[in-house]
Structure 1
Amino acid sequence: MDDRRVINGIFYVLRTGIPWADLPSEYGPPTTVDNRFNRWGYAGHWDRIMEAIAEVHNVDTVMVDGTSIRAHHASTTLKKDPRRCLGRSRGGLSTKIHAVTNQNGLPIRYELTLGQAHDTPPCKQLLDNLQPGQYVLADKAYDADWIRDMIWEQGAIAVIPPKANRKRPAEFDPVLYKERNKIERFFGRLKASFRRIATRYEKTSRNFLSMIKLASVKLWIEFYEFAA
């Protein structure tokens, strides 16, 4: 079956959140579309597409934050495994998406954790490839010495408000910090535009991350079309 037809079917599921079995016939057999989504994700195609799109854009500022996603009961049927990134928080079973975006609020990279996990541990992976002179915007939850040291060692500049209990509060640029709302708006758009992300239906973390990266590709394409 034609790959373009399959991709359109995958994006239809991503946008509407419907089960694969309910996919309209115009996109082909649901099992075929589902199987190719799994196979392409396992082969790393979605990763490479997102990386290729994100790399061509100059980044002078990055922002880091996280958001929790409630899990549908359909995603919890496999045996418990921390690698599935399903944890129990106040809202029930959930997954936390940790993201780094550029100055326009467009995603660059992701990590998934259990829903109840703290925001800071994924920074070891998310912020390990900064460029000298880049600004790193984050809220006060990220005001940890090791995060500031990690940013400084790469020649980047932390724009993080200090916690109230800091004995020696670090300085930060409050005007530049206001730009951080763009990553919050990004998460809002991600949930509002893609029902398959607003609620987690995928049983495996790999498939859920594939859905997130596909949505990211869509947002990047829309950005380039608007800028053209």
Structure 2
Amino acid sequence: MIAVIDYGAGNIFSVKNALDYLGYENKLTNRKEDLERADSIILPGVGAFPWAMNMLSLSGLIGTIREQSQVKPFLGICLGMQLLFEESYEFGECGGLGLIPGYVDRINEPDLVIPHMGWNRLAYNHSCPLFKGLTDDEYVYFVHSYKAFCDDKNLYAYCEYGGRVPAIVSDGKYIFGAQFHPEKSGKTGLKLLDNFVRFTEEVR
């Protein structure tokens, strides 16, 4: 079973619908026991970083997320990816989950439209279980004004938007983050989600 964390941060139903379409058992939940029993966990999110961290704190799930992400596949999506990092500078400095080294800050490109919104091409930086079956000409859907700043070893894929924008990050073990919305990225996004679940089955 895939646990999709429901902490009031949006886009959970589109993620669930994508998993339902792929035929995988999943559950929207804010219960610690469900995260502990799940085979893998997805952390969606849209909105502001400090607000989302406050909602996670109120849910009482931060400790459980940190523990479970070390022993089973964990995928953060959009804001959920940004929350994986140590801190963000959105509306001031705010601590994150600290699962991947790095920070989040505004895309500072005065000649570009912000937010970065629409389809952009993935460029791969390291091999990753999520990329199985994908080509070098895959496009995915982004909607964000802030981006991650991290070490090259944690940057698994990126897109170009006034420079490299991290698109897929990972700790190299169980933790993955997607800045774009797989559930809104057509066949490519569905393939990424399918690969995440297949990776879950491989390591279970």
Would the TM-score normalized by the shorter structure come out above 0.5?
A: no
Q: Considering Cα pairs closer than 8 Å and 6+ residues apart, tell me whether 1 or 2 has the greater RCO.
A: 1
Question: Which of 1 and 2 has greater Rg?
Answer: 1
Give the structure-1-normalised TM-score: 0.27
Higher strand share: 2
